[in-house]
């Protein structure tokens, strides 16, 4: 404990005691060896489901005909978003939008 505010002679001043006892801040770790070490900080890691939803995957876009015609690749989080992105990127009309197929690339 630390003694502060010591005054020589006299009693209290304005209702305050002559000295104040202050306690040292305690370490959060129960073992004395680790008392001076900072505590481990918790990190906010994403769950696999959140991470998968945020990541963009690559999709191959194929226009279905007698033989499939590969239009190219797009990046999107899921198949529906990949079809919408392909329609915009490759300027597909309404008929061709219904005839595209997307394949996820590993």
Predicted local distance difference test score (pLDDT) of residue 4: 52
- Domains in the chain, CATH or no CATH each: 55-104 (3.10.20)
32 close to 12: Cβ distance less than 8 angstroms: no
DSSP at 6: -
Q: How confident is the model at residue 48 (pLDDT cuts 50, 70, 90)?
A: confident
Q: 6: how many CB neighbours lie within 10 A of its CB?
A: 8
CA torsion angle 82 83 89 94 (round to 10): -170
Does 32 have pLDDT greater than 70?
Answer: no
Tokens of 17: 């005691």
- Cβ distance 52 to 76 under 8 Å? no
């Amino acid at each position: 404990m630390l003694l502060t505010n010591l005054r020589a002679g006299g009693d209290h001043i304005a209702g305050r005691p002559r000295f104040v006892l202050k306690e040292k801040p305690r370490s959060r770790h129960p073992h004395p060896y680790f008392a001076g070490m900072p505590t481990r900080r918790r990190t906010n890691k994403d769950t696999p489901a959140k991470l998968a939803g945020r990541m963009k995957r690559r999709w191959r876009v194929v226009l279905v005909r007698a033989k499939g015609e590969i239009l190219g690749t797009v990046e999107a989080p899921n198949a529906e978003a990949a079809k919408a992105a392909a329609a915009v990127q490759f300027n597909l009309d309404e008929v061709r939008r219904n005839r595209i197929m997307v394949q996820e690339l590993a």
